[in-house]
Amino acid sequence: MTSRTLRAMTVLTAAAALCATASTAYAVQNPDRRTPRIVTAWAHAWNGTDPQALGGLFTADGTYTDEAVAVTFRGPQEIAGWKARADTLIEDVRVTVRATRVQGDRITVRAVYSGHLKGAPKPFAVPMTTLLDLDENHCQIASDRDHYSLAAVLTQSGLPADWTPPAA
């Protein structure tokens, strides 16, 4: 078994454990604040190399919208495909969670989104706010909406404002 497969199984097992009971979705990760486990799994999936780990956190009809580039993906397979595409375009892609706020079925995540666009002269690190809407059991993501400045990513990367990624 490869380390990639083992990591993916760990993330998917953690996601399945979240669904055991709704109350397990919120666990203390740090004595100073409460971080929902689903957020920890989401960040871990983004920071990993297996696209299926991210897709596996979503409901069958879940959506993932990247507001900066105005795209929406539906269902775990399309969402996994989005992660795979990001991994081909961005080296060392990373989401670092800074704070979370839970309001009912919605979690607001404040994070830093960073990486190095392939072919760009410099890496980037920009603030990002993500809205996660959970299913009724609080164990899977029904909707993810990422908000960050594409202009800031391009400026920090040393790319022109009209840069577009190469075709897939």
Which segment of 28-32, 73-77, 126-130 scores lowest on mean pLDDT? Answer: 28-32
pLDDT for residue 168 = 64
- The domain ranges of the chain are 3-157
Which segment of 16-20, 38-42, 64-68, 148-152 scores lowest on mean pLDDT? Answer: 16-20
What are the tens digits of pLDDT across the range 121-139?
999 999 999 999 999 988 8
**CA nearest to 144, candidates 34, 67, 90:** 67
Q: Distance between CA atoms of 133 and 27, rounded to whole angstroms? A: 17
Report, in this order, helix, strand and coil percent for the chain, each rounded to 5: 35, 40, 25
Query: Hunting for tokens 């072919």 — which residue is that?
Result: 119
SS3 9: helix
Q: Distance between CA atoms of 6 and 115, rounded to whole angstroms? A: 24
This prediction's pTM = 0.80
Selected from 3.40.225.10, 3.40.920.10, 3.10.450.50, 3.20.20.80, the CATH number assigned to the domain covering 3-157 reads 3.10.450.50
Q: How many CB atoms lie within 10 A of CB 24?
A: 16
Cα 49–Cα 54–Cα 56 angle in degrees, nearest 5: 125
Instruction: Give me the mean pLDDT over the 65-85 stretch.
Output: 97
Confidence of residue 33 (pLDDT cuts 50, 70, 90): low
Q: Distance between CA atoms of 147 and 28, rounded to whole angstroms? A: 26
Give the strand pairing for 141-147 and 58-66.
parallel
Q: Distance between CA atoms of 79 and 64, rounded to whole angstroms? A: 6
